[in-house]
């Protein structure tokens, strides 16, 4: 209850888009029968956005719930490829500071207004306007300087500095194009009702603790190239209900109260696997795995050997298998294996080797043992304070704690209230923090290990929780931003991954799954580039 | 009056009532026989727990939870009540037999309008058509001598004075024009004057030919109206006969005590003691307590001021008894508290031994407090429920740090003064009998060695026979220790017996004061006259008997 | 004490001992996670089965007795102490103080209990102690009110009046007569509240305001069990039974004691 | 009784100048006015206490607000400026108080919507549940209480034990069991919060069970006590039936304590329904408040506190009025 916000938030925030490994639906989805139109999809979701407007809200749920409403200039397919959408085509200047977009014709917002260059300019300006208090979108296009409408169907965007991630940023729902009229209205209105050019519209908008209802936008004719299907969506309506409680959500599905649910807990997945009549659609979230982030700046974990020992001395895979009923996969590196730019060569470093672990600890000087069998160095016990504020990871923590004890390391579980958590995070007063970090590409490494992302009282919350600061990587990040193409960018980030693995700057645990469980009749369940299910592609067989 | 034709209205032979309890069967009524004829007033007299109420209630099948009623004959107007079961009683109750309980406050449903209560029997037995009920209720209330019956009918019991409540209760009992009216202690807790009126009302009813079965502990009341009297003790009739005969020449010792008790008060004398006279001629006695122009007002939220005591001045001499007479609400209790310094007067002052209360502060005042003690009407509530008799008696002694062994001695002495056996010391107050409790209260009041004891209705809650004993104790103590009493009571008999001087209070004012004999034999103020007349006739009738029951 | 009460008294004693020295009842470490035995049904090895971490439920229930019962008890004691002080103060320190204190009590009452506890816990940080404090704050007004009305009632009692007559000082009278006799009803309320408080504290841990994991606490155990309801019923049943039995024992024995006290006083 | 004795002279006095009923109504009006006046203070107190608690909570509001976000310094500054988060506390307090007095509850820091819209959206759900719960409680209690009242002692004690058992069940656990059995397993009722009648059954049951048991007990005690009152004997002696006796006389007396109790329950439910709302995933003002506290969303928390406090005040006044109606003795008591 207490500020799951933080951990939950982190698990989806920052650098938006994700590419889905294995792309399309797993499980009994893709249609044997031919797509049929009509019907209402009743969906129960786990989390809700505090504000629906993707320009303002940073949450995964805001992306999920606004994707059916708003289209983007650029479409990024589940494999990461970039395709025209509202922008028919675009060119990039050689200095990579000017982007010119040619817009699609005949696109209208669901409030009847025409989509044109001025709309794009209005949206981009709105996102970066401090008054919008954007909690994510603004920072996604931090490089943005200005935009101008060259003609009704041409937009020219200027950047402050090169940003190799700019286009994929634009593909995010967070930079989805909303009707300019609504942008002029009060920000509070946007938190309930978002009007875009999407395949669905919702006049009633979003009600907290309740949900949101969509109806098909019959005029929709501008589905992105590379999408499953053009033309209007097949579903007549989508009714989304917010049901935070896992067991209740599962119960709602099995009792037929809803057609589909998202964010099933592993236990639920386990249950559903042996319940006939239901299909489980999953995909790995790309980006950083769910990991323990060691405080590399102070405390016992500032010693790389201790970090390495922890990585080798705990059988992470076995624990994950146990706690998550074999649903989640173990992790091989800072990034989940499904992330574009993932460097497979690091995997070897993430194996279970207790002997090596004990050797490292001895080498680090933690040679003595105290009464309870914990290692000590000059009388001080090897104690690590694990700071967490999401009770839902309790079970995992318990098992890790037990495993660490085998190693002679004491893990102190600190279940803190939000305020204290934040204070200590900013003060760097912790040894371990746990969180995951879904994200479209290797760019996320910059967010997670860049020196200017170390949270401090002055800077406020930021995402380098390992407090990792290394000149090599800093230099690498600069090069990555300026990279002229993806290959170059990936090359740079591969170095970074090896460097980080060498420094054991993160203790990865598993790759989180984005799940959508549904009754058999729910067909063509695909996942968006950021790992959220693509609701507008779904159709109902019965 | 003679029975009006037909058989007896009520005929009872060998009535027994048993109550099975956890500790075996309790026999409340042990074979009593009596009859009531039409138009006759039959009284059953006895002290609390004698079984008189149960006897009466068995006539309407209300003897109580799980009561086992047996009788050789139990007939009402020829009908055998032994055969009556469950609902059948209802035809009898209210319709043929009206029932008036004591304590009208509790006997009228406090949540319902008086009118509704009176109307209940009318509706239950369809005495008059629904439309006419209201009118009938008003008529009945008027008949019961209630002024402005229309408005009264719309009021609630707590808004009526005790007398009016009792009248209303009688009105509802008579609503269905029953042949028999059972009146259980109909006048207890009523002021003498009111008592009188209620009795008059009952007598009037008898005039209409309704028979009355009167239950009472008060011989005075019985003497007023009863034709035939049964004296009850421990579930048996110990004596019966025509009222006059029984009362004037009681044969059974119990009857004698009862009569004696009343007589004693009435004559202000008891065997072996001539009418009281102060140590020195009253008034000239060394003055221990003096009140000058006392005034005490209360502000009642939302309805202005109410003056409890208005310009009252009294003096009490050492070893003398000042009787304070007055009916409820006359301010006599407030006066007592003022004298004790428990209340601060709004005007005037109280001097104890010539030193004014208001001059005293802190320890001084506390010390002075010990000079005036109080005895309450209900001793039980004046003892800390956690305390044993010993603790109760020791407390005042601890308060002035009397050393241990000294305390034991004093306690023993106190017990002896009030005639209590030492074995009570171990018990808690509620384990003692009413009489013992009041003795204990006296003993405690004596403990601090006071000069004055304020007695607030000290015996009115006690049975007549016990009353007598307690009054004896008070007198003995006064003779031995020369303590002065301020004796507050509504009971003229009691006042007359104990007091040397008397003040009569009405609505917070002293209307008359002076030597007891003078005030009682030659009352000047009309109110005093009324009070004295109101004392049930029996006592006056009795006073004519020379020599009394010595 | 009536026969029917013996079993409940026994239960109470057992629970007390459990809370004091849990190791007497089981050799198993309640926090020992057995990776191979998650959610094992009741068996000879695990009498009440295991939870999602393969921890022995019986052991956890035994060790859970302390936090589960102590929070409630602590809350009652705190509330009792604070309530009596405030109540007596309100009754004794004159009209103004009375008004101020009584209104303040209304304020506390007017804020929804759980929300208030939540605020308190948020201020003090989660944990058993703070949970107890929070519950105490919420339940204190009840005690204060009873204490106040009792003191006011007794102030005018005749035996108190009489005691003044013996020359005691005001304080002495309060100490000798008022407080001891006010104790009865207040303690009665305390025994009644104890059961309610135990339930309340379990509700708190249910929403995550109780002691921190992995501490075994009955309410928290139930909360964990929800996730696995479809897979295992035992983690969702036994802790609840424990709470209910504990509360029943407290209630019945408490009622009996109250009757005894009343009997002695009236 | 004491009350009666205290007030009877006054009543008699009033009776003498027979304008009682009029004054009675006046006392009621005065009573209500006094209460309202006092409640203004209570509300102020509630707001102040909440404000203080929120301020002494660890963590700066800005940090907690931005915890879930990735924002540049200018946005952070904009937020701090807009909500005046770095004004001195007294100033923040007074400005906020001023706004409330003017009826402006402001905008939720987190939801970025007028708190009033939010409450308007969530309150009905809670009120509905509270209403059904109270209804269920009252009905169940009266039936159970009346049925069990005139029985043998051992039957009564059996009922009493049953009540103790129900009271001892943690409501959330009861809810959990009901949900598992009737929703997940039998599929009789919906598993997730809905305001449809069917959706209300289980939460109401879970919420009402405890209170109903308590009230039933109190009611029975009241009935038994009332049956011992002398006026019952008198009434019987008038020859009225047992049914009439219970209906016209006894029940009303027993209802007095029950009214107070129900009022108390109503008051506590408005905030206390939260846990059940969580178990049954119902929307409600309680959950709104809890998450608001977690996020230091001051305007939202205080608004909720105000709403519930007002409800509390209204309920108490309602109880007073009811007592006034049922028990004439209180009418002359003034206050």
Domains of chain C: 63-265 (1.10.3720.10)
CA distance D245 to chain C (A): 30
CA distances from D56 to A483, C116, D51 (A): 48, 14, 9
State the CB neighbour count (10 A cutoff) for residue C165.
25
Say if the Cβ atoms of C230 and A319 lie within 8 Å: no
CB contact, 8 Å: B373 with chain C? Answer: yes
For C201-237, the pLDDT digits (tens) are: 998 888 878 887 778 899 989 988 887 877 788 999 9
pLDDT greater than 70 at residue B275: no
| D-chain residues near A254 (CB < 8 A) | 184
The conformation of residue A327, written as its DSSP 8-state character, comes to -
Dihedral sign for Cα B233, B235, B237, B242, please.
Answer: positive
Residue A212: the pLDDT is: 94
CA distance D177 to chain C (A): 8
For B361-382, the pLDDT digits (tens) are: 778 888 888 889 999 888 888 8
Say if the Cβ atoms of A419 and D64 lie within 8 Å: yes
Say if the Cβ atoms of B369 and C180 lie within 8 Å: no
Touch criterion met for A and D (3+ Cβ pairs within 8 Å): yes
Residue D17: the pLDDT is: 37
The conformation of residue D182, written as its DSSP 8-state character, comes to I
**Contact (Cβ atoms closer than 8 angstroms) between residue B183 and residue B210:** no
* Lowest model confidence (mean pLDDT) among A137-146, A492-501, B455-464: B455-464
Residue A30: the pLDDT is: 43
Q: What are phi and psi of D35, to 5 degrees?
A: -60, -45
For D279-333, the pLDDT digits (tens) are: 888 888 888 888 888 888 899 999 999 998 898 888 888 888 888 888 887 776 5
Mutate which of B57, B104, B110 to disrupt the D interface (most D C-beta within 10 Å)? B110
* Lowest model confidence (mean pLDDT) among C86-90, D165-169, D189-193, D208-212: D189-193
Task: Calculate the CA dihedral of residues A389, A395, A397, A399 and round it to 10 degrees.
Answer: 170
Q: What angle do CA B252, B258, B260 make, to 5 degrees?
A: 95
Q: Give the ranges where chain D is alpha helix by DSSP (H).
A: 2-16, 20-56, 61-66, 73-83, 89-101, 115-149, 153-168, 171-178, 197-228, 230-237, 242-244, 251-272, 274-279, 285-294, 298-326, 328-331
**Contact (Cβ atoms closer than 8 angstroms) between residue B332 and residue B351:** no
List beta partners, residue A89: A102
Token pair 């507008």 is found at A536
Say if the Cβ atoms of C120 and D53 lie within 8 Å: yes
Residue C187: the pLDDT is: 87
CB contact, 8 Å: D76 with chain A? Answer: yes
For D82-94, the pLDDT digits (tens) are: 888 888 889 989 9
Q: What angle do CA D63, A15, A424 make, to 5 degrees?
A: 30
CB contact, 8 Å: C156 with chain B? Answer: no
Mean pLDDT of D276-281: 86
Residue D193: the pLDDT is: 66
Chain C nearest-CA residue for B447:
C166
What tokens does B476 get? 């003995």
**If we measure between CA atoms, which residue out of D154, D126, D135, D145 comes closest to residue D311?**
D126
Residue B4: the pLDDT is: 44
Chains touching B (at least 3 CB pairs under 8 A) are C, D
Token pair 């967490």 is found at A388
| D-chain residues near A462 (CB < 8 A) | 70
Chain D nearest-CA residue for A130:
D75
What average pLDDT does the structure give for chain C? 88
Chain D nearest-CA residue for C101:
D42
pLDDT greater than 90 at residue A315: yes
Strands (E), A295-415: 329-330, 368-369, 375-377, 380-381, 383-388, 410-415
CB contact, 8 Å: B95 with chain D? Answer: yes
Rounded to two decimals, the ipTM of the complex is: 0.80
What tokens does D50 get? 């909440």
What tokens does B180 get? 């028999």
Say if the Cβ atoms of B370 and C165 lie within 8 Å: yes
Residue A85: the pLDDT is: 94
Residue B106: the pLDDT is: 78
Say if the Cβ atoms of C226 and D176 lie within 8 Å: yes
Mean pLDDT of C66-85: 93
List beta partners, residue B80: B75
Q: What angle do CA D105, D107, D108 make, to 5 degrees?
A: 110
Token pair 């846990």 is found at D275
**Edge-to-edge strand ranges of the sheet holding A329-330:** A329-330, A507-511, A287-294, A432-438, A383-388, A410-415
Query: Counting beta carbons within 10 angstroms of the beta carbon of residue B361, is it exposed (0 to 12), middle (13 to 18) or buried (19 or more)?
Result: exposed
Residues of A with CB under 8 A from a CB of C: 1-2, 245-247, 250, 254, 265, 267-268, 270-271, 318-319, 322-323, 391, 394-395, 397-399, 401-402, 413-417, 419-420
Residue A256: the pLDDT is: 87
Closest in D57, D171, D274 to C122, CB measured: D57
List beta partners, residue A226: none
State the CB neighbour count (10 A cutoff) for residue B141.
25
CB contact, 8 Å: D42 with chain A? Answer: no
Residue B270: the pLDDT is: 40
Q: What are phi and psi of A87, to 5 degrees?
A: -95, 120
pLDDT greater than 50 at residue D4: no
Residues of chain A above pLDDT 90, percent: 53
Residue B246: the pLDDT is: 84
For D129-163, the pLDDT digits (tens) are: 999 999 999 999 888 887 877 667 788 888 888 88
Give the model's confidence band at D195: pLDDT under 50 very low, under 70 low, under 90 confident, else very high.
low
pLDDT greater than 60 at residue D10: no
Give the model's confidence band at A228: pLDDT under 50 very low, under 70 low, under 90 confident, else very high.
low
A425 vs B262, residue with greater confidence:
A425
Say if the Cβ atoms of C214 and A415 lie within 8 Å: no
CB contact, 8 Å: C129 with chain A? Answer: no
Residue D103: the pLDDT is: 84
Touch criterion met for B and C (3+ Cβ pairs within 8 Å): yes
What is the 3-class SS of A17-85, one letter each residue? CCCCCCCCCCCCCCCCCCCCCCCEEEEEECCCCCCCCCCCCCCHHHHHHHCCCCCCCEEECCCCCEEEC
Domains of chain B: 4-267 (3.40.50.300), 278-548 (3.40.50.300)
| A-chain residues near C214 (CB < 8 A) | 394, 397-398, 401, 413
pLDDT greater than 60 at residue D21: no
What tokens does C116 get? 């208030």
Give the model's confidence band at D9: pLDDT under 50 very low, under 70 low, under 90 confident, else very high.
very low
Q: Which of residues 258-287 of D touch A (CB under 8 A)?
A: 278-281, 283-284, 287
A102 vs B433, residue with greater confidence:
A102
For D231-244, the pLDDT digits (tens) are: 888 888 888 888 88
- Whether omega for the bond prior to residue C214 falls within 30 degrees of 0, making it cis, is yes
pLDDT greater than 80 at residue B400: yes
D333 vs B245, residue with greater confidence:
B245
Touch criterion met for B and A (3+ Cβ pairs within 8 Å): no
Mutate which of C4, C106, C112 to disrupt the D interface (most D C-beta within 10 Å)? C112
Give the model's confidence band at A81: pLDDT under 50 very low, under 70 low, under 90 confident, else very high.
confident
Residue D63: the pLDDT is: 82
Residue D228: the pLDDT is: 82
Give the model's confidence band at A26: pLDDT under 50 very low, under 70 low, under 90 confident, else very high.
very low
Q: What SS3 state is found at C232?
A: coil
Residue B430: the pLDDT is: 84
Residue B390: the pLDDT is: 92
CA distances from B376 to B344, B429, B439, B460 (A): 20, 14, 11, 10
Chain D nearest-CA residue for B154:
D21
C262: Cα separation from own chain's centroid: 22
**Contact (Cβ atoms closer than 8 angstroms) between residue A532 and residue A67:** yes
């Amino acid at each position: 209850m207490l500020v799951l916000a933080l951990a939950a938030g982190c698990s989806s925030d920052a650098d938006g888009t994700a590419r889905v490994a294995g792309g399309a639906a797993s499980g009994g989805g893709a249609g044997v029968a031919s797509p049929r139109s009509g019907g209402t999809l009743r969906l129960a979701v786990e989390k809700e956005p505090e504000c629906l407007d993707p320009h303002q809200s940073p949450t995964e749920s805001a992306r999920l719930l606004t994707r059916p409403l708003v289209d983007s200039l650029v479409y990024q397919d589940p494999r990461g490829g970039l395709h025209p959408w509202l922008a028919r085509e675009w060119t990039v200047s050689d200095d990579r500071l000017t982007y010119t977009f040619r817009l699609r014709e005949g696109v209208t917002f669901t409030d009847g207004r025409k989509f044109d260059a001025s709309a794009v300019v209005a949206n981009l300006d709105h996102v970066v306007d401090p008054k919008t208090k954007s909690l994510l979108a603004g920072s996604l296009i931090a490089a943005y300087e200005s935009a101008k409408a060259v003609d009704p169907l041409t937009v020219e965007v200027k950047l402050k500095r090169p940003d190799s991630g700019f286009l994929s940023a634009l593909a995010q729902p967070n930079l989805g194009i909303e009707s300019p009229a609504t942008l002029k209205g009060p920000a509070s209105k946007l938190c309930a009702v978002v009007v875009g050019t999407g395949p669905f519209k919702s006049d009633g908008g979003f009600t907290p603790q309740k949900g949101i209802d969509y109806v098909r936008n019959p005029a929709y004719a501008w589905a992105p190239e590379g999408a499953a299907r053009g033309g209007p969506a097949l579903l007549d309506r989508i009714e989304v209900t917010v049901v935070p409680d896992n067991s209740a959500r599962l119960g709602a599905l099995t009792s037929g109260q809803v057609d589909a649910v998202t964010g099933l807990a592993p236990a639920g997945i386990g249950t559903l696997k042996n319940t006939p009549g239901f299909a489980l659609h999953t995909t790995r979230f790309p980006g950083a795995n769910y990991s323990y982030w060691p405080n590399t700046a102070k405390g016992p974990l500032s010693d790389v050997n201790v970090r390495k020992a922890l990585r080798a001395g705990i059988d992470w895979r076995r624990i994950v298998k146990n706690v998550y009923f074999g649903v989640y996969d173990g992790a091989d590196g800072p990034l989940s294996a499904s992330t574009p730019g993932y460097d497979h060569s690091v995997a070897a470093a993430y194996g279970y080797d207790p002997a090596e672990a004990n050797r490292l600890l001895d080498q680090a000087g933690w040679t003595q043992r105290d009464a309870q069998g914990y290692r000590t160095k000059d009388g001080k016990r090897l104690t690590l304070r694990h700071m967490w504020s999401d009770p839902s990871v309790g079970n995992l923590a318990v098992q890790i704690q037990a495993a660490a004890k085998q190693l002679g390391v004491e893990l102190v579980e600190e279940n803190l209230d939000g305020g204290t958590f934040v204070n200590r995070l900013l003060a760097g007063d912790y040894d371990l923090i746990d969180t995951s970090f879904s994200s479209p590409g290797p760019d996320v490494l910059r967010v997670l290990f860049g020196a200017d992302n170390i949270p401090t009282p002055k800077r406020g919350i930021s995402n380098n929780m390992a407090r990792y600061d290394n000149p090599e990587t800093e230099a690498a990040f600069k090069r990555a931003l300026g990279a002229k193409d993806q290959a170059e960018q990936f090359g740079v980030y591969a170095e970074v991954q090896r460097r980080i693995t060498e420094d054991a700057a993160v203790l990865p645990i598993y790759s989180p799954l984005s799940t959508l469980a549904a009754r058999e009749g729910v067909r063509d369940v695909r996942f968006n580039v950021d790992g959220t299910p693509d609701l507008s592609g779904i159709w109902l067989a019965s | 009056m003679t029975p009006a034709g037909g058989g007896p209205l009520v005929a009872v032979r060998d009535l027994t009532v048993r109550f099975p309890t956890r500790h075996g069967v309790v026999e409340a009524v042990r074979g009593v026989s009596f009859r009531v004829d039409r138009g006759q007033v039959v009284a059953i007299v006895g002290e609390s727990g004698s079984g008189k109420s149960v006897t009466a209630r068995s006539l309407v099948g209300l003897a109580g939870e799980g009561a086992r009623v047996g009788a050789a004959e139990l007939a009402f107007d020829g009908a055998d009540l032994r055969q009556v079961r469950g609902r059948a009683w209802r035809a009898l109750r209210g319709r043929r037999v009206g029932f008036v309980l004591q304590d009208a406050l509790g006997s009228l449903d406090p949540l319902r309008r008086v009118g509704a209560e009176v109307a209940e029997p009318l509706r239950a037995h369809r005495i008059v058509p629904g439309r006419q009920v209201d009118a009938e209720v008003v008529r009945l209330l008027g008949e019961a001598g209630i002024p402005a019956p229309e408005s009264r009918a719309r009021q609630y019991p707590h808004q009526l004075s005790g007398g009016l409540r009792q009248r209303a209760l009688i009105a509802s009992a008579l609503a269905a024009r029953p042949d028999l009216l059972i009146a259980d202690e109909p006048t207890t807790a009523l002021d003498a004057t009111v008592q009188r009126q209620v009795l008059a009302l009952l007598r009037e009813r008898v005039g209409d030919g309704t028979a009355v079965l009167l239950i009472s502990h008060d011989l005075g009341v019985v003497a007023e109206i009863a034709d035939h009297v049964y004296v009850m003790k421990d579930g048996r009739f110990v004596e019966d006969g025509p009222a006059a005969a029984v009362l004037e020449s009681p044969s059974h010792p119990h009857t004698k005590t009862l009569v004696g008790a009343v007589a004693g008060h009435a004559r202000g004398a008891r065997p072996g003691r001539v009418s009281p006279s102060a140590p020195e001629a009253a008034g000239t006695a060394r003055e221990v307590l003096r009140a000058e122009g006392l005034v005490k007002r209360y502000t009642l939220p939302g309805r202005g001021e109410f003056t409890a005591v208005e310009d009252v001045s009294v003096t009490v001499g050492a070893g003398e008894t000042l009787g304070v007479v007055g009916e409820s609400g006359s301010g006599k209790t407030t006066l007592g508290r003022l004298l004790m310094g428990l209340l601060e007067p709004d005007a005037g002052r109280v001097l104890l031994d010539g030193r004014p209360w208001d001059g005293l502060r802190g320890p001084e005042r506390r010390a002075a407090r010990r000079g005036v003690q109080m005895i309450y009407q209900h001793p039980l509530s004046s003892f800390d429920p956690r305390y044993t008799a010993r603790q109760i008696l020791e407390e005042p002694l601890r308060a002035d740090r009397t050393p241990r062994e000294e305390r034991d001695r004093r306690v023993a002495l106190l017990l002896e003064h009030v005639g209590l056996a030492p074995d009570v010391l171990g018990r808690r107050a509620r384990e003692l009998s009413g009489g013992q409790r009041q003795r204990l209260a006296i003993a405690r009041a004596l403990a601090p060695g006071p000069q004055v004891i304020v007695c607030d209705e000290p015996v009115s809650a006690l049975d007549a026979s016990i009353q007598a004993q307690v009054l004896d104790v008070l007198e003995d103590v006064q003779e031995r220790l020369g303590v002065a009493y301020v004796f507050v009571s509504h009971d003229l008999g009691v006042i007359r017996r104990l007091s040397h001087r008397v003040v009569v209070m009405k609505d917070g004012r002293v209307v008359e004061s002076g030597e007891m004999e003078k005030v009682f034999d030659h009352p000047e103020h009309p109110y005093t006259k009324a009070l004295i007349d109101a004392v049930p006739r029996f006592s006056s009738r009795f006073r004519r008997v020379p020599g009394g029951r010595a | 004490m009536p026969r029917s009460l013996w079993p409940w008294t026994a239960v109470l004693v057992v629970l007390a001992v459990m809370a004091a020295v849990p190791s007497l009842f089981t050799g198993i470490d309640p926090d020992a996670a057995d990776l191979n035995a998650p959610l094992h049904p009741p068996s000879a090895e695990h009498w009440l089965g295991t939870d999602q971490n393969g921890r022995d439920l019986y052991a956890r229930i035994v060790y859970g007795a302390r936090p589960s019962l102590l929070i409630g008890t602590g809350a009652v004691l705190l509330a009792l102490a604070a309530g009596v002080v405030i109540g007596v103060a309100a009754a004794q320190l004159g009209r103004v103080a009375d008004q101020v204190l009584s209104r303040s009590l209304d304020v506390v009452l007017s804020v929804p209990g759980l929300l208030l506890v939540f605020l308190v816990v948020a201020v003090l940080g989660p944990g058993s102690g703070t949970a107890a404090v929070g519950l105490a704050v919420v339940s204190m007004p009840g005690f204060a009110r009873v204490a106040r009305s009792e003191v006011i009632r007794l102030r005018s009692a005749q035996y108190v009046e009489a005691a003044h007559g013996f020359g005691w000082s005001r304080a002495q009278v309060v100490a000798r007569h008022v407080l001891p006799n006010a104790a009865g009803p207040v303690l009665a309320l305390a025994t009644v509240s104890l059961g309610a408080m135990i339930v309340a504290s379990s509700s708190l841990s249910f929403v995550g305001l109780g002691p921190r994991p992995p501490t075994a606490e009955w309410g928290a155990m139930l909360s964990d069990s929800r996730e696995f309801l479809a897979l295992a019923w035992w983690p969702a049943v036994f802790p609840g039974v424990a709470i209910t039995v504990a509360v029943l024992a407290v209630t019945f024995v408490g009622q009996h004691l109250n009757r005894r006290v009343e009997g002695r006083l009236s | 009784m004491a009350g009666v004795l205290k007030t009877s002279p006054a009543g008699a006095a009033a009776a003498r100048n027979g304008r009682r009923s009029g004054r009675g109504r006046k006392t009621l009006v005065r009573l209500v006015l006094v209460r309202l006046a006092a409640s203004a203070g209570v509300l102020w107190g509630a707001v102040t206490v909440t404000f203080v608690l929120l301020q002494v909570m660890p963590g700066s509001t800005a940090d907690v607000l931005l915890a879930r976000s990735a924002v540049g310094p200018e946005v952070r500054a904009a937020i701090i400026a807009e909500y005046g988060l770095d004004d001195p506390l007294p100033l923040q307090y007074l400005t906020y108080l001023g706004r409330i007095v003017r009826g402006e509850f402001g905008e939720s820091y987190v939801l970025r919507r007028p708190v009033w819209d939010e409450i308007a959206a969530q309150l009905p759900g809670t009120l509905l549940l509270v209403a059904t719960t109270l209804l269920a409680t009252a009905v169940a209690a009266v039936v159970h209480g009346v049925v069990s009242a005139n029985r043998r002692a051992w039957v009564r004690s059996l009922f009493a034990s049953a009540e103790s058992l129900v009271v001892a069940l943690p409501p959330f656990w009861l809810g959990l069991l009901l949900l598992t059995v009737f929703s997940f397993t039998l599929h009789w009722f919906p598993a997730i919060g809905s305001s449809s009648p069917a959706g209300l059954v289980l939460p109401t049951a879970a919420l009402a069970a405890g209170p109903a048991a308590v009230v039933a007990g109190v009611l029975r005690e009241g009935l038994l006590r009332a049956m011992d009152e002398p006026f019952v004997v008198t009434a019987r002696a008038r020859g009225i039936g047992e049914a009439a006796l219970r209906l016209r006389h006894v029940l009303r007396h027993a209802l007095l304590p029950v009214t107070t109790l129900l009022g108390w329950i109503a008051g506590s439910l408005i905030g206390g329904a939260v846990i059940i709302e969580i178990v049954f995933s119902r929307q409600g003002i309680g959950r709104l408040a809890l998450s608001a506290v977690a996020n230091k969303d001051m305007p939202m928390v205080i608004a909720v506190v105000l709403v519930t406090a007002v409800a509390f005040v209204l309920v108490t006044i309602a109880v007073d009025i009811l007592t006034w109606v049922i028990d004439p003795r209180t009418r002359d008591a003034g206050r």
